[in-house]
Amino acid sequence: MANKKTLILFPLITQGIFSLFLPFFHAFHLKGLTDVFILTTVPAFLFALVCVYYQFHQRNLVQIAFFSGAISFFYTLTVLSFFLFQETFTEPMSLWEQSLALLFYAMMFALPSMMYAMVVLRLLLRKAPKT
């Protein structure tokens, strides 16, 4: 029952922390907040669902890192593909350049997501049961 608060608190903390960086990029407006919501808060909620479903506790570091990275990687691949499809570029990119860029951006989002989840999510999960 204690993990249910993770469904609400983890995405809210994620939205708050990443929104704090928006003024540094002069993007503290509705579109910037929407982008933060789409790129960070939704995957955080999806990962919180995984944590509640599998009943992770604080000592499940390997599972937390794996699922957080995997969800973030595949979610970023999907979402950035749609963003890239909607953008109009002044200089066209070849397909292999776009694919390589998407893979690197997905890894760039997945690795910090793993670290962030292992630090912040451990504060919200319950302690391991004593054996």
CA 74/CA 60 separation, integer angstroms: 21
Q: What is the pTM of this model?
A: 0.87
Q: Residue 86 burial by CB count (10 A; 0-12/13-18/19+): exposed, middle or buried?
A: exposed
Alpha-carbon torsion (16, 43, 80, 70), positive or negative: positive
pLDDT band at 82 (very low <50, low <70, confident <90, very high): confident
Contact indicator for 34, 82 with CB cutoff of 8 Å? no
Q: How far apart are CA 68 and CA 50, in angstroms?
A: 9
pLDDT, mean over the chain: 89
Distance, in Å, from the CA atom of 89 to the CA atom of 70, rounded to the nearest integer, reads: 29
pLDDT digits (tens, 9 = 90+) for 117-127: 999 988 888 88
Q: What percent of the chain has pLDDT over 70?
A: 95
The pLDDT, as a whole number, for residue 92 is: 77
